[in-house]
Structure 1
Amino acid sequence: MEVVPLLNEKGDYEVVIKNVKQAVKVSWEESVKLWKIATPLVINILCQYATGFVATVFLGHLGELQLSAVVLSTGVISGFTFGVLLGMGSALETLCGQAYGAGQLKMLGTYMQRSWIVLLLSALFLLPFYILAAPILKLLGQDHDIANLAGTFTILTIPQLFSLAISHPAQKFLQAQSKVNVLAWIGFITLIEHIFLLWLFISVFDWGLVGVASAFNVTSWVTALAQLGYVLGWCKDAGSGFSWAAFNEIWAFLRLSVGSSVMICLETWYMMAITLLAGHLNNAVLAVGSLSICTNITGIQSMIFSGVRYAVSVRVSNELGLQHPRAAKFSVYVTILQSLFIGLFCMFLLFVAGDKIISIYTNSDELHQAVAKLAWLLDLSMLLNSVQPVISGVAVGVGWQGSVGYINLACFYLFGLPLGYILGYVADFGVMGIWGGMIAGTALQTLILVFLVYRTNWTTEVEETNSRIRRWGGQDNKADKMDDY
């Protein structure tokens, strides 16, 4: 029997996998590579989530007003600015990942410095949202007492805003090189430090909201400085010293950063809009409460798939940089298939243990029944949320941010939101109609992106990657290629 090698002389997969055994081997190898990146990132994301959760526990002992003010500040103002900066930093997922795959190590440091410049300037433009937080929240119809206190807390957390402009690029820089274990360790250590600071500032020093803001500021800067220290100390081969080349192609970089930000923000704000719509229903308390439980459940799932999203972005961008079109394609297909199976497992888990899971969140029979009525939408949402982040990660890895931004705008805001409004208010289906319409928008976006991935010519994407690297300052220096490829 003829033995067909899985890899050709360039290290790329052969065009055709001859049998099931080879398909299993390729899938297993790709899965190992994917989860070696995804697992530490999931741990880091969980640690970041836990910092907010622990702060909420301490705030609960300060009073309802303080708790509401901080939740409003972090959910609206900080959430908005975090999404903008995270999105702009996501441009590095494309550029650093492709440059690393191509062996242009020096360009990684240049790209990171370029991102610092763009994000620090962006933070300055976002500063008025922090200073004017109270008037903005009042304009959005929030209670004045809560808005005033939230505005004060927001101003106290201004240092955190600028720390994000440092930490986001550094994190993407490390992700592109699969140096993700250090991110997990930094996330875990800063979580412990955050808990200690909250206890010290609130329980010992009795600083109240000032203590909470101080804990957030210190933790965010410790995270940023720890990542920066690792970059400067252990990543010197990637050009960690300052280079004036960081100012080259700054406008082209800004356009890609803005495209990345629009793509990410449109996805993030879309899910926030459903709560705003539900808040105007007749029985708003029950509607928002049931919806909050559902989104909390899907939020736990999304933390796992956020790690997978970043991992597949790294895998695709690295393989495109290495000029391995078929390896990039296999990575996409394997990740989508795995994610689909995980989504089906989550649906089965909810079907079997849904009542017990709901009971964790509420003792109210009325609220329990309201959530139970949304169970089939929750199942569908769990399935979509297992595939949609993966496709978004592929888009970032390839560099499709601008195109996906237009797709998100059309599917989410021209189709999903209006349909949700019509079903919820005009057809009087309430929260079920609002959520159903918005799920339809997500389903349409996912189908379009799956179709685009299916029709992608990966050889053309490799050529586009090479062109981008040459255009933005990369040199075709084969001596810089990594030994582990």
Structure 2
Amino acid sequence: MDEESVSMPLIHINGDEEFVGDLPAIEGWRGLLKASCNESKKLWYLAGPAIFTSLCRYSLGIITQAFAGHIGTLELAAVSIENSVIAGFSQGILLGMASALETLCGQAFGAKQVGMLGVYLQRSWVILTTTALLLSMVYVWSAPILKLIGQDDDIADLAGQFAIWMIPQLFAYALVFPLSKFLQAQSKVLIMAMIAGGALVVHVLFSWLIIFKWGCGLWGAALMLNISWWIIVLSQLAFVLSGRFKEAWGGFTWAAFHNLGAFIRLSLASGVMLCFELWYLNIIILLAGYLKNPSISVDAISICMNFIGWETMISLGFNIAISVRVSNELGAGHPRAAKFAVINVLGTVFIIGAILMAAILIARNEFPMAFTNSEEVRKAASSLATILAITMLLNSIQPVLGGVAIGAGWQALVAYINLACYYIFGVPLGCLLGYYFDFGLKGIWGGMVCGTTLQTITLCIITLRTKWRKEASQAVERIKVWGGRN
């Protein structure tokens, strides 16, 4: 399909642009309620399965850690380090780079240029597989890298061995993330949820069998985690190649290797944007290790991070949903519909965030009990309840604003905003409060929450001031340029 043949669905009346099929003007409370209900149905149709899919994928690593903990404490530490540091680092880069596909596929699908989706998918595979090949060196050299940053030698050596065993998972990331974006752009989210749920069931049953019944230990844990991820990859790939996507998938083509420059630039901007977000809160755990009585500080912040991690899976579902809604509507030339989708989702996640915030404040003395029996750790974690509650509220809104940015194609702008708010403002302020003014863990986290607040306010202002008609008019040009056609 010729990319140059794309045209915006608009007409001109007295010199003004009118977008055909856009959301009509809303009149009165009944009209607003009806429009909100219709938009919420579209949102939850995408967000519900996306949340379930994210939770299932997230649980694969958590379950492997749980099984490793029953092998031994050293094994648990090694798997935890590999899963959070080595695999987490690589996953952040690859998932971020794949979000470029979220912009292009979503806008192309909305513009009814469905034939380009398969080409974009293959271009993303080329870029992410090459990146995975480079990242595999981090896996190979992970033991000395972990020792260099101060990790215990025994843990580093075993984590390094486990990381080498997990290289197949790295290449599974490179294939499955673009496949997921390809399916999400076309609202094929239910099949993704079914595949992720099936993979999780298989993972639990066979991990227990291989690790304990067959006595394969840590090697068996790595084998099963790799297999589970490749079950997801091959199942999604089989669905794409099944003939259900005759328009979107035209077969493998050499066009995937042509004019990759603009695609690479958008992929890199997307990767930087998401990595700055994913790594930000993890820095708190690292900084906590340099405080007085670091074991208590690290344990307390780790308990809080567990709650934030589960909430992030919910936020990620809405991130995916709104990026699809915005990209589809902009690609279709529906600026009012895109703007209304953004307003609707922000109201939804604010309510969810407020409920979670209230729950943490109410259960401030009880929530640490789920993770520790130590009275000292429980008191330390409880003392962080207020900051945790504020973070839960911000963490429900901020990822959704990131999803709006992905849907609209603002990745490069948001990457600069994240760099300034998080690492130029938030981290130094946290270190100043935590170490210089001796506020400890509260100071570190409080300073970094200020960075998140600044970033959220900045994105809110940008979103509210966005000229959606202009964004819709530029959507097709963005498809042509960022899709790889100079």
Provide the TM-score with structure 2 as the length reference: 0.94
- Aligned pairs for 1:258-269 (under 5 A) are 258-269=268-279
Encode CA deviations 1:356-379: one digit per residue, 9 max, x unaligned.
323222232222221221111111
Q: Kindly indicate whether residue 57 of structure 2 is the aligned counterpart of residue 44 of structure 1.
A: no
* Equivalent position of 2:350 in the other structure: 340
Q: Does 1:450 align with 2:450?
A: no
Q: Which residue of structure 2 lines up, in the alignment, with residue 483 of structure 1?
A: none
For the residue of structure 2 that corresponds to 1:428, the secondary structure is coil
- Partners of 1:114 and 1:225 lie apart in 2 by 18
Q: Is the 8 A contact 1:99 1:105 kept in 2?
A: yes
Query: Aligned letter for 1:385?
Result: N
Does the C-alpha gap of structure 1 residues 473 and 93 become closer, same or farther in structure 2, counting only changes over 3 Å? closer
Report the RMSD for the aligned CA atoms in angstroms. Answer: 1.5
Offset of 1:293 from its aligned partner?
1.2
Name the residue aligned to 1:194. Answer: 203
Where 2:432 maps in the other structure, the secondary structure is: helix
Could you say which residue in structure 2 is the equivalent of 1:172? 181
User: Which of 282, 285, 290 pairs up with 1:272?
Assistant: 282
Letter aligned with residue 422 of structure 1: L
What's the CA shift for 1:240? 4.3
Residue equivalent to 2:323: 313
Alignment of 1:55 onto 2:81: no
Distance 1:474-1:142 versus aligned 2 partners, 3 A rule? closer
Contact 2:19 2:333 in 1 (8 A): no
Matches within 5 A, 1:348-387: 348-387=358-397
2:156 to 147, 151, 171: 147
Segment drifting more, 367-376 vs 414-423: 367-376
Gaps of 5+ in 1: 1-7, 476-485
What secondary structure does 1:368 align onto? helix
Matches of 1:351 and 1:127, distance apart in 2: 43
The answer on whether the counterparts of 1:231 and 1:240 sit within 8 Å (CA) in structure 2 is no
Matching residue's letter, 1:292: S
Matches of 1:346 and 1:246 in 2, distance apart?
44
Whether the 8 Å CA contact 1:107–1:474 is kept in 2: the answer is no
SS of 1:12's equivalent?
A: coil
CA 316–250 in structure 1, closer or farther in 2 if over 3 Å, else same:
same
d(CA) in 2 for partners of 1:196, 1:120: 30
Give, in whole Å, the separation in 1 of the partners of 2:415 and 2:140.
29
Looking at structure 2, the residues matched to 301 and 66 of structure 1 have their Cα atoms a distance apart, in angstroms, of: 27
Partner in structure 2 of residue 405 of structure 1: 415
Aligned residue identity for 1:101: G
| Maintained 8 Å contact 1:97/1:397 | yes
Alignment match, 2:103: 94
| Residue identity matched to 2:425 | F
Q: Which moved more, 1:354-363 or 1:306-315?
A: 354-363
Which deviations, in whole Å up to 9, do the C-alpha atoms of 1:315-341 show, x marking residues without a partner? Answer: 000000110000000000110111111
Aligned to 2:172: 163
Provide the rounded CA distance (Å) in 1 between the counterparts of 2:475 and 2:48: 27
AA partner of residue 100 (structure 1): F
Identify the match of residue 222 of structure 1 among 228, 231, 239. 231
Give the equivalent residue in structure 1 for 2:299. Answer: 289
**Equivalent residue letter for 1:321:** G
Whether the aligned pair in 1 keeps the contact of 2:90 and 2:135 (CA below 8 Å) is yes
| Structure 2 CA distance for aligned equivalents of residues 138 and 125 of structure 1 | 21
Between the aligned partners of 1:472 and 1:118, the Cα distance in structure 2 is 14
CA deviation profile, 1:127-152 (whole Å, cap 9, x unmatched): 11011011111111101111011111
The SS at the match of 1:362 is coil
Return the letter of the residue paired with 1:232: L
2:136 aligned with 1:127, yes or no?
Answer: yes
Question: Partners of 1:472 and 1:278 in 2: how far apart?
Answer: 41
Shift of residue 17, structure 1, vs aligned partner:
2.4
The corresponding residue for 1:26 is 35
The separation in 2 between residues aligned to 1:276 and 1:9, in whole angstroms, is: 50
- Give percent identity, aligned residues only: 49
Distance 1:246 1:160 in 2: 24
CA distance in 2, matches of 1:382, 1:74: 23
Distance 1:472 1:424, change over 3 A: closer
Instruction: Identify which range, 152-161 or 354-363, moves more after superposition.
Output: 354-363
Matched residue type, 2:394: L
Instruction: Quote the Cα distance in structure 2 between the aligned partners of 1:315 and 1:287.
Output: 41
The question of whether the paired residues in 1 share the 8 Å contact of 2:354 and 2:393 is answered with yes
Taking the TM superposition and a 5 Å limit, the aligned residue runs for 1:199-218 are: 199-218=208-227
- The CA distance in 2 between the partners of 1:429 and 1:132, in whole Å, is 37
Shift of 1:242: 1.1
1:197 shift after superposition: 2.3
Shifted more, 461-470 versus 28-37: the winner is 461-470
Structure 2 contact 132–174 (Cα < 8 Å) conserved: yes
Q: Does 1:429 align with 2:450?
A: no
* Aligned-pair CA distance for 1:248: 2.6
Deviation at residue 235 of structure 1 after TM alignment:
1.8
Partner AA of 1:198 in structure 2: S
Distance between the aligned counterparts of 2:481 and 2:406, measured in 1? 19
Q: Does 1:438 align with 2:448?
A: yes
2:77 alignment partner in structure 1: 68
CA distance in 2, matches of 1:200, 1:309: 36
Matched-pair contact (CA < 8 Å) for 1:93–1:397: yes
Structure 1 stretches of 4+ moved >6 Å: none
State the number of aligned residues: 467
Query: How do 1:235-274 residues align onto structure 2 when only pairs under 5 Å count?
Result: 235-274=245-284
Report if aligned partners of 1:342, 1:386 keep a CA contact under 8 Å in 2.
yes
**Cα pair 2:261 2:484 within 8 Å, conserved:** no
Aligned to 2:12: none
CA contact (8 A) 1:104 1:474 kept: no
Q: 1:12 to 1:364 in 2, by over 3 A?
A: same
**CA–CA separation in structure 2 for the residues paired with 1:63 and 1:158:** 23
Stretch moving more, 231-240 or 63-72: 231-240
Task: Provide the C-alpha distance between the structure 2 equivalents of 1:146 and 1:472, rounded to a whole number of angstroms.
Answer: 43
Preserved CA contact (<8 Å) 2:19 2:334: no
